[in-house]
């Protein structure tokens, strides 16, 4: 692979490329290693205060995610910790997460807000994402998720919170160009179909693309709404049925599957990846990195879960974590594969066959990571 000015100029056999090398070229010898495009993690929540390790233990003792949320924990507990942190404190914590993503071979990360749930607090998170994007080698692609939960102060009047999202938050986010997309948690106890549709249509009017959390814990028909609104993605889909899969396929909505959250919540129902692939859908895999349901930044771990639990082949999994994910973020022409004309974002792994990346699970095999042709340093 020949790289110049941060972009890939040519790919081919070593003897073909060597003939095109300028005299001052730096040569990276990847003999005996696997080279892959940087992973594109198309669904994460990387900016939050504190963690939820206490809830992790409560689940081990038998409580469910929904019971913990109903008792005031869950997303709302992270909202309290995030509001209590300053912008600089959140940036320092998010910087640590950025290092974790890089170590796992990820070079592009979609990043949602959603732990602020007021105008100022959502903007605070989106600014942290903006600052992170400037200082980090990773490209962070921001998504507004003001409709992640009803905050404590609106529990008795949730319709007023929906109005706040539509009339105050969305105009502000759009005006300051703080997000490319709008997301929503369409789920029992969070946002129902009618409110989701109102918020998402308003987002579309502001020029935002749509990504949606649907059919995760219960089936509320969210995938049909994603199809009707021609969302870019419908994410989770653990409870989606055959009719919903057909509707997504018909409308060209990409499914984003998040097996890390099924695993971490100790559940057993994974999304029906094989049916989706057979329906012709360009399936995406992502970590869903967040403090509650999926505290992993590791794409190799997700590839392992996809192969063992969802019966995706290793090749389908890598495709879902790179080029398909790039298209879901509107960047299919720039990243996600190693081809002439694309950015030189790639990673070298200490294995000889790409299938070993998912086969040896629970350990990292990353040797080095390059963004725009530059080797990124991170400490182990
Ligand atoms: O994707 N589903 C909503 N959001 C996250 C969970 C966030 C949390 O528990 O803090 C998810 O699973
Ligand atoms: Fe999520």
Number of domains making up the chain: 2
Is residue 25 domain-shared with residue 161, that is, in the same domain?
Answer: no
Residue 343 lies in a domain: no
Beta strands 366-371 and 374-376, pairing class: antiparallel
| Domain shared by 362 and 240, yes or no | no
Say if residue 25 is in the same domain as residue 87. Answer: no
H-assigned helices in the chain: 14-18, 53-60, 65-70, 75-83, 87-103, 119-135, 158-164, 170-175, 193-205, 222-228, 242-251, 259-264, 273-278, 299-309, 314-321, 323-328, 356-359
Separation of CA 356 and ligand 2 centre (Å): 27
Kindly list the protein residues whose Cβ atom lies closer than 6 A to any atom of ligand 1: 45, 74-75, 78, 185, 213, 216, 261, 288, 290-294
CATH number of residue 95's parent domain: 3.20.20.140
Asked if residue 218 and residue 102 are part of one domain, the reply reads yes
Give residues with Cβ within 8 angstroms of 340, minimum separation 6.
8, 9, 10, 11
Domain, as residue range, for 25: 2-33+349-376
Give 58-78 pLDDT, tens digit per residue. 999 999 999 999 999 999 999
pLDDT tens digits, 159-201? 999 999 999 999 999 999 999 999 999 999 999 999 999 999 9
φ and ψ of 22, to 5 deg: -70, 160
Same domain for 254 and 363, yes or no, is no
Query: Could you list the pLDDT tens digit for every one of the 380 residues in the chain?
Result: 999 999 999 999 999 999 889 889 999 999 999 999 999 999 999 999 999 999 999 999 999 999 999 999 999 999 999 999 999 999 999 999 999 999 999 999 999 999 999 999 999 999 999 999 999 999 999 999 999 999 999 999 999 999 999 999 999 999 999 999 999 999 999 999 999 999 999 999 999 999 999 999 999 999 999 999 999 999 999 999 999 999 999 999 999 999 999 999 999 999 999 999 999 999 999 999 999 999 999 999 999 999 999 999 999 999 999 999 999 999 999 999 999 999 999 999 999 999 999 999 999 999 999 999 999 986 54
* Domain match, 43 and 142 both: yes
**Per the domain annotation, does 62 fall within a domain?**
no
Confidence (pTM): 0.98
What's 313's DSSP letter?
-
pLDDT at 377 (0 to 100): 81
Residue 321 C-alpha to ligand 2 middle, in angstroms?
Answer: 16
């Amino acid at each position: 692979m020949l790289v110049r000015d941060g972009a890939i100029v040519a790919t081919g056999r070593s003897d073909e490329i060597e003939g095109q090398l300028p005299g001052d070229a730096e040569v990276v010898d990847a003999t005996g290693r696997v080279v892959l495009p940087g992973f594109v993690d198309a669904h994460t929540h990387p900016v939050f205060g504190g963690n939820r390790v206490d809830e992790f233990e409560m689940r081990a003792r038998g409580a469910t995610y929904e019971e913990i949320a109903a008792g005031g924990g869950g997303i709302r507990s992270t909202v309290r910790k995030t509001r209590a942190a300053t912008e600089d404190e959140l940036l320092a914590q998010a910087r640590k997460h950025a290092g974790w993503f890089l170590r796992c071979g990820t070079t592009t990360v979609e990043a949602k807000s959603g732990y602020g749930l007021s105008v100022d607090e959502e903007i605070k998170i989106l600014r942290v994402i903006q600052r992170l994007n400037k200082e980090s080698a990773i490209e962070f692609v921001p998504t507004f998720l003001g409709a992640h939960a009803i905050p404590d102060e609106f529990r008795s009047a949730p319709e007023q919170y929906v109005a706040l999202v539509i009339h105050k938050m969305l105009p502000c986010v759009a005006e300051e160009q703080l997000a490319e997309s709008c997301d929503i948690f369409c789920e029992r106890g969070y946002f129902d179909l009618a409110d989701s549709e109102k918020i998402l249509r308003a987002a579309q009017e502001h020029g935002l693309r749509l990504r949606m959390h649907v059919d995760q814990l219960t089936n509320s028909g969210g995938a049909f709404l994603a199809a009707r609104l021609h969302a870019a993605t419908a994410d989770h889909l653990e409870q989606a049925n055959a009719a919903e899969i057909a509707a997504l396929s018909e409308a060209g909505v990409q499914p984003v599957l998040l097996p890390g959250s099924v695993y971490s919540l100790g559940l057993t129902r994974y999304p029906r990846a094989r049916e989706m692939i057979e329906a012709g859908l360009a399936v995406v895999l992502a970590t869903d990195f967040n403090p509650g349901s999926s505290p992993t930044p590791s794409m190799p771990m997700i590839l392992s879960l996809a192969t063992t639990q969802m019966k995706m082949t290793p090749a389908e999994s890598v495709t879902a974590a790179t080029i398909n994910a790039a298209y879901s973020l509107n960047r299919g022409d720039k990243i996600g594969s190693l081809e002439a004309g694309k950015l030189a974002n790639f990673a070298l792994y200490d294995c000889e066959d790409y299938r070993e990346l998912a086969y040896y699970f629970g350990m990292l095999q990353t040797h080095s990571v390059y963004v725009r042709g530059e080797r990124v340093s991170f400490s182990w």
